[in-house]
Structure 1
Amino acid sequence: MKNFKFKLATILLIVSCAFGLMTSVADNVLPQTSITAEASTLTASQKKQIANINKGLSKKNKAAKNWIAFRESGYSYTARNGNCYGRYQLLKSYLHGNLSPVNQERRANAYVAGRYHSWTNAKKFWQSHHWY
């Protein structure tokens, strides 16, 4: 019986490690797919405006911003959750009635700059609290 319990515990450990590895791989693969799918719905003008809005962000801040966008909405500019809306799940009132992707990018940068001073700080907060 002892041997059976040990084998069962070993199998469960191996399965849980494999599941954790698969989850980790999915976190690294799935966001790229979502970025591509969401970005393809933007017009050329919107893409240009968004690039201009984000041009001052460092590589680390851009990466943190994308990380938050994936966790908040799966990169969707139309995600809804109660009074929160869009890619960064900002309060609808904070968007001042303009739900466009360009305004979401602009307002998200302003929100994070005012509250956290950087997207990397916002990401650290998110990791501790599961919101930002």
Structure 2
Amino acid sequence: AHHRLPLEPDFEYAVLTMSGHTEVDGVRLDPGAMLYLGTGRPHLPLHAHTDATLLLLGGHPFEEKLVMWWNFIGRTGEEILQARNDWEAGTRFGDVHGYDGARLRAPELPDIPLKARGRVR
């Protein structure tokens, strides 16, 4: 199947292939692969090689600077440290029901300060 999905050019987008094999804007994506698309697109060409499921993520780009590390997003390195501590303590983030394995351990934080990064729209 081929489709041109209309988009809001001011929005920032990414696509995650959940199942099947797809081409997103000419880039082949296997299940579990995510493609960052950025902003400025009026439409998105899609092609499914098989039955496929895609997840489109998008919205207004964040104007503030953010710190991203492992599975955590915060405004400062201190917020990331607190999130990591909460994760390791088993608080704040809840449990994955139906998962039999042990809780994943968060990696150790690097020995250098984490820097906030961002873009201005």
Q: TM-score, normalised by structure 1?
A: 0.22
* Structure with larger Rg: 1
Comparing both structures, which one devotes a greater share of its residues to helix?
1
Comparing both structures, which one devotes a greater share of its residues to strand?
2
